[in-house]
Amino acid sequence: MTSSYSKKITKIVETDFLVIGSGVAGLRAALELCHHGRVLMIAKGGPQENSTLFAQGGVAVALSEEDHVDLHFTDTIKAGHQLCRKPATKALVQEGPARIEELLAWGAKFDKVKGKLAFAHEGAHSRRRILRAGGDAIGSEMVRVLTAHARQQPTIQWIGNQFSIDLLVLDSQCCGAIVLDELTGELKLILASATVLSTGGAGQVYARTTNPGSATGDGIAMALRAGAALEDMEFVQFHPTALYLPSSPPFLLSEAIRGEGGRLRNNKREFFMKRYHKDKELASRDIVARAIWAEMQATKARHVYLDITHLSATFIKKRFPTIYATCLRFDIDITEEWIPVSPSAHYWMGGVYTDLHGATTLPGLFAAGEVACSGVHGANRLASNSLLEGLVFGLRSAQSAVTFASNSSTPHLTLRDLRKRSKPISKPLEDAEKLRNSLRRLMWTKVGLVRHGNILTKAVSQLSRWEKTLEQTSLTRTNMETQNLLQVGRSTTEAALWRENSVGAHFREDFPTHKGLTWKTHSRSHRPLNTDHFPLT
């Protein structure tokens, strides 16, 4: 961690392509970019801090004999409540099979039954199309394969413990980023012909989240500050079933558990989902999450139960080894006991707006994965589509970046140029953790599963006041993460206040059924910059 006094850039690094983030989307982008120049991949913290590693359920793809890409397309559009961008969704489902076949060729070990790929069922899917690995460890397997292949490429360099402070914009074009070395405290500038954001989501803005501690919305906030547009920020998916224990952080209990027959009970022991949807436990995530929330409110409980005790203990241990072992550490034997669960913030459908090819509204900046709003998820993500999106649009964003770089040039800068334009930032942030905890509680209670205009208005005012306290703060990872969370929280709250209807993951108590004539309009957050953007000016 760095100290709170002002810093100056001491080093300039030049590369052809900069990839910020090291999950599935970033790795797939790098594997395409490496054929066209030098690729520098950077990520904050170590290699275990990306969200992909925590993915359990699987990756959705129309590869089975009973499936078809048209069915996958229809299911995705339906789950997204007709707010998906159809060209992007078509690209996702049509190119998905090729991306999975590619992984298999690179050595991916997906689960099989009798020598054939095993396909599982999850909510809102009309077919069994979920590929898994190690039962419930799909994320780590995909990262393993992509990382192993990336290590074989001599033009890819990966550096950890590099916190991206801000994007560099010159002549209205993204030319790289300002980066803080978390180990040495050195501040450096990375110049690149094209930059790909793949920094993941922002679940840490909420008090309850399935996301790792590193999910602080850094890419979304950096892009907003640099002048790129955000879209659909109000659509936050709350996973219905996260382990609820007062003494432990939420732990995701895969959608696949319900796909294999898991049932939900309230604290009166009743199966309740039949009262909310004909598909019961296999309804889409937004419906199941709000049903659980309604039961919790009605019975004044802090959780409901997920029951799989009717399934074979041998099957449970083999199918869900990670979940079984984790719950057992908390003295819950899921083969014999009901699991206490409640919803938790899980995934942003919105993010940095990109076109069909991963390009943002800021020339030179591209985005893929959860940080981006490619349009494939609409108002509610279909389960297990996120990893496929990372593969498909990781590649697409890289192809677009290559085309852009071939028609542009990277500016030449010296340390002297930068220091002429830089001002010291030395104001320390008092008790960043206290502010962060207050933010997370506010977002959970006022901008959660159920929202109301009056409450959202008050939340926006509070977030604005907190943001002002962070102006000109010192450049440390803690301070910058807090600033990023505040900016993501404010963008989300403003978008939720703007959308005066209920659709998908966004539910307004004051507009429970009303949609209005313009409900298919997408929200936009955009703070255009009139000058070159330096994070130290």
pLDDT at res. 50: 55
Q: Please say if the pLDDT value at position 471 is more than 80.
A: no
Distance in angstroms (rounded) separating the CA atoms of residues 122 and 382: 9
Mean pLDDT of 134-143: 83
Tell me which H or E stretch contains 226: helix 218-226
Mean pLDDT of 446-451: 97
Q: What is the dihedral of CA 21, 26, 29, 33, to 10 degrees?
A: 40
Whether residue 15 contacts residue 410, with contact meaning beta carbons closer than 8 Å, is answered with: no
Amino acid at 179: V
* Average pLDDT along the chain: 90
More confident position, 10 or 344: 344
Q: DSSP labels for 288-334?
A: HHHHHHHHHHHHT-S-EEEE-TTS-HHHHHHH-HHHHHHHHHTT--T
Q: Which two tokens stand for residue 507?
A: 């539910």
Q: What is the dihedral of CA 460, 466, 469, 472, to 10 degrees?
A: -60
pLDDT at res. 47: 63
Greatest mean pLDDT range, 129-138, 277-286, 469-478 = 277-286
Tell me which H or E stretch contains 25: helix 24-33
Whether residue 51 contacts residue 386, with contact meaning beta carbons closer than 8 Å, is answered with: no
Q: Please say if the pLDDT value at position 179 is more than 60.
A: yes
Q: Please say if the pLDDT value at position 7 is more than 90.
A: no
How does pLDDT run across 22-70, given as a tens digit for each residue? 999 999 999 999 999 999 999 998 765 555 555 556 899 999 999 999 9
Of the ranges 134-138, 270-274, 452-456, 481-485, which one carries the lowest mean pLDDT score?
Answer: 134-138
Mean pLDDT of 515-531: 77
Residue 531: how many other CB atoms lie within 10 Å: 8
How does pLDDT run across 495-504, given as a tens digit for each residue? 999 999 999 9
Q: Please say if the pLDDT value at position 439 is more than 60.
A: yes
Of the ranges 134-143, 234-243, 339-348, which one carries the lowest mean pLDDT score?
Answer: 134-143
Q: DSSP labels for 345-409?
A: EEEES-EEE--TTSB-SSTTEEE-STTEE-SSSTTSPPTT-HHHHHHHHHHHHHHHHHHHHHT--
- Which residue out of 132, 263, 285, 381 is catalytically annotated? 285
Handedness of CA 291, 297, 300, 303 (dihedral sign): positive
315: alpha, beta or left, given left = phi > 0 and alpha = psi -120 to 50? alpha
More confident position, 246 or 104: 104
Q: Please say if the pLDDT value at position 310 is more than 70.
A: yes
What proportion of the chain, given as a percentage, has pLDDT over 90? 77
More confident position, 532 or 31: 31
How does pLDDT run across 407-437, given as a tens digit for each residue? 987 777 776 666 554 444 445 566 788 999 9
Domains defined for the chain, CATH in brackets: 17-235+349-406 (3.50.50.60), 240-344 (3.90.700.10), 426-523 (1.20.58.100)
pLDDT at res. 121: 87
pTM of this prediction?
Answer: 0.92
pLDDT at res. 487: 95
Distance in angstroms (rounded) separating the CA atoms of residues 34 and 32: 6
Distance in angstroms (rounded) separating the CA atoms of residues 207 and 465: 20
Amino acid at 449: L
Catalytic-residue membership of 38: no
